[in-house]
Structure 1
Amino acid sequence: MIVRGVLGTLGIAGFLVVAEVAGRAGVLPDVLPYMSDVLVAAAGLPLEAQFRADVLATLVACLSGLAIAIAVAVPAGLVFGTVPFLERSARPLVEFLRPIPSVALIPLAMFLFPASEDAKTALIVYTCSWPLLINTMYGLSDVDPLAKDTLRSFGFGPLAVVLRVSLPSAAPFIATGVRIAVSVTLIVAVSVELLAPGGGGIGAFLSLAGNANRIDRMLAATVWAGVIGLAANLLFTAGERRLFRWHLTRTGETA
């Protein structure tokens, strides 16, 4: 794990050095600022109240949309995963809707939800629901049938079997769905903020910086968006490994 982190850090540092050298050598377009200027601008952004407010607006939208998606998609996945008839009926619709890019639905979301914040939350819920739903259904298909039959033999009903056996067994898969959903929430939120008028967020900050021809500030905000996304992924990955170490051991993965 430490070696992987060191190699990742070296890779990022190498990319930054190459980008700086390429800019100084005139390989990159003149409109692009030097990487050192971008990093200086990125270091100063957290000191600006407006940027902090925009980051907070994006994070609030991501967390609220993710929470709603979990509350909707996980129970739906439990129902579809335990009732084969419903699963077979819903599968074609799920496979049809799931590949539709959320960005393509921004105009529709803006029409249905005039407030940009509502449109942003709705698209986050839509996008996050699919990995949560699919992973929950897949996790239920991996449950040991013998464990369920044993519980039924002791007189437990369908709900008790789901809560005592199916849900705990599927929990690692659901956690993976949450981690995948987290990785796309920021993308969807920033995309809506860029295209939807009004409201705040990192996307709105990027749009204003671009309109002012401040490419250095625009790229600096992009750097922070990447840092936030990386930090969220590392946090959820660490939590997933800690909570479900038994599952990683069973599947032969290393913690």
Structure 2
Amino acid sequence: MKGLGGLLGFALLLELLPRLGIVPRQHFPPFSAMCASLAEQAGRGAFWAAVGGTLRIWLLGLAVAVAGGVLLGLVIGSVPVLRAATASTIEFLRPIPSVALLPLAVVLFSAPVRSILLLVVYASLWPVLIQVLHGVADVDPVARETADSYRLGRWERTRYLVWPTMLPYAMTGIRLATSIALVLTVTGELFIGGTEGLGEQLSLARNSGDDGVALMYGLVIVAGVLGVAANLVTRRAERAVLAWHPSVRRELPL
């Protein structure tokens, strides 16, 4: 309820700022005008096609990043020599902004969707990979010694020792990567174009003069709603997957 109250308060602020003349109305219309323009677009098939296009790129890029991040994290984290050899490379590549790769993505892939996917995967991979590496390194030394005593193989160690320790870290990385993937999807569509997604619709609305200003902000609201929905879904998934973990499990009433 507090979160809903905060959203309603923010919407009221967006309505009052232009009406009171605090911000120029031609550049920042009231919230009601944004919603009206968005409601008009909601009756058109092109709008839902744009939402669907953004969702496809977003989820596909996120799936590739999660799979790659978990697999690489497990392999690198489980081999001390490999982790030491790749540590400096990871620390060098991780801070590079994904938007800086826009020219490279366009040159490598003529298809806009592939170019955007490159940006999404690159940006979303790092939170998952780093968290998985931390999770693998956090395995209890006593548990490792116990596994050595029982002469567990690599598969048994991964399944019963590494995976339960790493999973909470991985879920945190996935939650962070979900938002990052959405940001890069819309950004790529906005600057690369050719996808008919929300980002391209934003660009068209921005370039259509005063008539498109309200729609532009309305599309920004849609992107924000998608982000909030994704955060809620990932948090619920995290609680479901980690129901056994002490950080999530609630104490049963006596």
User: What is the TM-score of this pair, normalised by structure 1?
Assistant: 0.92
1:222 deviates by: 0.6
1:67 deviates by: 1.3
- Structure-2 separation of matches of 1:181 and 1:62: 11
Contact 1:241/1:248, CA 8 A, preserved across alignment: no
Q: 1:67 to 1:59 in 2, by over 3 A?
A: same
Matches within 5 A, 1:155-194: 155-194=151-190
| Residue in structure 2 matching 1:112, options 91, 108, 115 | 108
Aligned length: 247
Matches within 5 A, 1:115-130: 115-130=111-126
- Structure-2 separation of matches of 1:19 and 1:26: 12
What stretches of structure 2 of length at least 5 have no aligned partner? none
CA RMSD of aligned residues (A): 1.7
Quote the residue 2:238 is aligned against. 240
Q: Does 1:148 align with 2:144?
A: yes
Quote the residue 2:8 is aligned against. 13
- Structure-2 separation of matches of 1:218 and 1:157: 56
Q: Deviating runs (4+, > 6 A) in structure 1?
A: none
Secondary structure of the structure 2 residue equivalent to 1:247: coil
- Structure-2 separation of matches of 1:186 and 1:206: 14
1:57-96 deviation per Cα after TM superposition (whole angstroms, max 9, x unaligned)? 1111111111111222211111111111111111111111
Matches within 5 A, 1:178-217: 178-213=174-209, 214-217=212-215
1:251 deviates by: 10
1:43 deviates by: 3.0
Secondary structure of the structure 2 residue equivalent to 1:249: coil
Quote the residue 2:55 is aligned against. 59
| Residue in structure 2 matching 1:27, options 22, 42, 46 | 22
What stretches of structure 1 of length at least 5 have no aligned partner? 1-5
- Structure-1 separation of matches of 2:19 and 2:111: 44
Quote the residue 2:217 is aligned against. 219
1:118-170 deviation per Cα after TM superposition (whole angstroms, max 9, x unaligned)? 01111111111101110000011111222232233222212321122101221
- Structure-2 separation of matches of 1:176 and 1:88: 24
Quote the residue 1:3 is aligned against. none
